[in-house]
Structure 1
């Protein structure tokens, strides 16, 4: 049994098809103007979900890179401080050797002692090195200076590590232990007390060649701490390079996922315009003639 097709049915179908055709053109025009495949999640939930994942990955990557930059700042400053400390200890060693010169009188030895005192003050300045207002050799107690000018000694007992997440589940310490650096080999025989002892001996008119071994031990410990720091710096540089590569890869994936193929969009839009024009022509022919059409 045949279905009777009325004029209203033809008109309704024509309007629905024209609306769908215009919707397709609107979609292609929006893609062309925005450069994106979708304008809202409902356009393609899969593309939208992937886009959210890629954006979350970029945000996470950005935080890791900021942590790496902060760690790099801390470590570079610590390395510079230890480099200055190395130069100071070499000077102390030179003065200790020079004090053994038998031609030196007590005034000359006192002059050397005065230089040792100045070296100690500078060593205290190094121990109180800051970055962004935080003391880098004070463990996690970054608000209080580890070296006391009043006591003339390293007073901090905080030996905790400051750890930052450099990548997923990868935590690395960014600080250098002030205890290991300035309280070697112990609190009672640290570098500041050694300098005090050397200065006192010189002021009494005695040479300090007997402390050369102690001075060299301090230098060896300093070199060991710098080597440990250098190993961490190298690892962070590798992590930084990987994070930068990941950022490029995620951006590419996000572009492939969301960016429209402009050439394809233009072709589809032109094709749809032709289809729409044909639909309009066909629709004009199926509209039922009115009485006015016959009276013309």
Structure 2
């Protein structure tokens, strides 16, 4: 095959253009710190990157869900803690009313205080977090205690997705915490307190022992709910640790897949610059003046 001057010149120009392209790619990697800047650079890396980023997005969403779960549990724990203190005070007042040495005015004052404690507990049962009632199951837009004092909480669980395929109950069962006997019928805590007020106002305290027994049972029920909440909180902390590890792993995998090896890129760029300068030098000798240059 006959090789002409034009063929040599065209090949030299094509190789110089390709050299510019390789240098441009290396400079892009150096500027962005990424192996690729468009899917066409490496479709395999691009596809894997999409999958890895989807996993990372899921992990980040679960972390946001964990924050919501913590918010519900900690506020539920705070409400139960306050409620137990109120019940302890109501029990002290009931025992004081039962000792038989109180004057009618003393009994009236005790009754007024217990009535106020009852209203305070109703406020606890209607606790809201971000505008949602936390003791009313999934019916978070309505209070479990209505304006008349009736207590009708929804019994289903409010669950939050905290990991792939894992939903954790984050609420406290309002009926078991503030209601009657666990697994059976009985007066709610608010009805028991109102019964104490009625018995105290009667001045006879004929039902004091039964009311004290009911109040103690409510106290046990609330402690049982608090224990279950504590167990779920401990599990939530374990899940948080696992999600944190998954986030670190996901970020590392994305980095391994997409991030450029800066030291290698700099070395390759220096080598490519040397090759490019050599190609320019050789091409300047190959592309010699032609007869047409002399005729101009």
> Could you say whether these structures have the same fold, taking a TM-score greater than 0.5 normalized by the shorter chain as the test?
yes
Task: Give yes or no for contact 1:96–1:209 (8 Å, CA) kept in 2.
Answer: no
Confirm whether residue 180 of structure 1 aligns to residue 176 of structure 2.
Answer: yes
**1:206 CA drift (Å):** 2.5
- Give deviations 1:207-231, integer Å, cap 9, x for gaps: 3244222211111111000000111
Map 1:184-195; keep pairs closer than 5 Å: 184-185=180-181, 188-195=186-193
Selected match of 1:30 from 20, 28, 31: 28
- Give deviations 1:43-87, integer Å, cap 9, x for gaps: 111211121112111211111111111111011111100001100
**1:141 CA drift (Å):** 1.4
Selected match of 1:46 from 33, 44, 50: 44
Q: Structure 1 CA distance, aligned partners of 2:274 and 2:245?
A: 45
Q: Structure 2 CA distance, aligned partners of 1:105 and 1:140?
A: 47
Confirm whether residue 133 of structure 1 aligns to residue 131 of structure 2.
Answer: yes
Task: Give yes or no for contact 1:109–1:206 (8 Å, CA) kept in 2.
Answer: no
- Give deviations 1:268-289, integer Å, cap 9, x for gaps: 1111111011111111222244
**1:291 CA drift (Å):** 4.3
Residue matched to 2:101 = 103
Selected match of 1:171 from 167, 173, 193: 167
SS in 1 for 2:155: coil
Q: Structure 1 CA distance, aligned partners of 2:175 and 2:216?
A: 18
- Give deviations 1:137-179, integer Å, cap 9, x for gaps: 11111111111232x23133x2111112111100111211111
- Give deviations 1:86-138, integer Å, cap 9, x for gaps: 00111111112222223212221221111110111001101111011111111
SS in 2 for 1:165: strand
Map 1:93-242; keep pairs closer than 5 Å: 93-150=91-148, 152-156=149-153, 158-185=154-181, 188-207=186-205, 208-242=208-242
Q: Structure 2 CA distance, aligned partners of 1:98 and 1:142?
A: 38
Residue matched to 1:16 = 14
Unaligned runs of 5+ in 1: none
Task: Give yes or no for contact 1:54–1:254 (8 Å, CA) kept in 2.
Answer: yes
Task: Give yes or no for contact 1:96–1:212 (8 Å, CA) kept in 2.
Answer: yes
SS in 1 for 2:197: helix
Task: Give yes or no for contact 1:97–1:209 (8 Å, CA) kept in 2.
Answer: no
C-alpha RMSD of the superposition:
1.8
Residue matched to 2:270 = 270
Q: Structure 2 CA distance, aligned partners of 1:59 and 1:292?
A: 64
Task: Give yes or no for contact 2:172–2:229 (8 Å, CA) kept in 1.
Answer: yes
SS in 2 for 1:176: coil
**TM-score for the superposition, normalised by structure 1:** 0.93
**1:188 CA drift (Å):** 4.6
